[in-house]
Structures are given as structure tokens and as C-alpha cells.
């Protein structure tokens, strides 16, 4: 998969309001992450809906999950987040060649 496809998948996952809220919550939680139950308590999402959104974030490579006994600990993948923000800003202000609109109209 190309870098463009990887980044598009991550952005698509974040394009849903609930997933964006979950991801931002995990970023605020820091490297220690949160238990799935705690994420549900903060977001108010039903368990099955939350599981669906967490699976989408994990598939997009934005979160990691670790089973600890009966609990699942979920963390934001900070290196993945950094790669995504680096990708978005990589060509900032590099300039884009344009054509003169007046010349093309004649």
C-alpha cells in the first residue's frame, strides 16, 4: 500500500465524528491510554458501537490495543499520528505552478 493510500485510510477513519472524538480522547489520555470501558464512559457510546469505531481506528493504524486479562487497553499511536501530520504539512508553502486564467480564456 502506498503512503498516500495509508494516509487516506487514516484520514477517512478520522472523518467520522465519533472516531475523531475517541482519537482526541486517547491523545489527551497520553501514552498510558485508556481501558475500553473508560472510553465508553467518556463518550457515552454503547459497547458495540464503540467496538466498531475502535476497530476502524486500529485498522487505519491510528490506535493500538493490548489485552490485559479481561480488559483491553487502547492507546493513540503517536508515531502514526506524527507521520500523518508530517504528511499533511510536508509540502507547505512549496508553491504550485498555475496558468494565467486570462491567457487561457483567449
- Grid coordinates in use for 40? 465508553
pLDDT tens for the chain, 106 residues: list them. 679 999 999 999 999 999 999 999 999 999 999 999 999 999 999 999 999 999 999 999 999 999 999 999 999 999 999 999 999 999 889 888 888 766 555 5
The pLDDT tens digits for 47-71 are 999 999 999 999 999 999 999 999 9
Domain ranges across the chain: 3-89
CA-to-CA separations, 51 to 1, 22, 28, 47, 55, in angstroms, rounded: 25, 11, 20, 6, 6
CA gap 86, 82 in Å, rounded: 6
What is the pTM for the complete model shown? 0.86
**CATH of segment(s) 3-89:** 1.10.10.10
Amino acid at each position: 500500500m502506498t503512503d498516500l493510500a495509508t494516509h487516506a485510510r487514516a484520514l477517512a477513519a478520522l472523518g467520522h465524528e465519533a472516531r475523531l472524538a475517541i482519537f482526541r480522547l486517547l491523545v489527551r489520555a497520553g501514552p498510558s491510554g485508556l481501558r475500553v470501558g473508560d472510553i465508553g464512559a467518556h463518550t457515552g457510546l454503547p459497547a458495540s458501537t464503540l467496538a466498531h469505531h475502535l476497530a476502524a481506528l486500529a485498522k487505519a493504524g491510528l490506535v493500538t490495543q493490548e489485552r490485559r486479562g479481561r480488559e483491553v487497553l487502547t492507546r493513540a499511536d503517536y508515531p502514526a499520528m506524527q507521520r500523518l501530520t508530517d504528511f499533511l504539512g510536508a509540502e507547505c508553502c512549496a508553491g504550485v505552478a498555475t496558468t494565467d486564467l486570462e491567457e487561457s480564456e483567449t
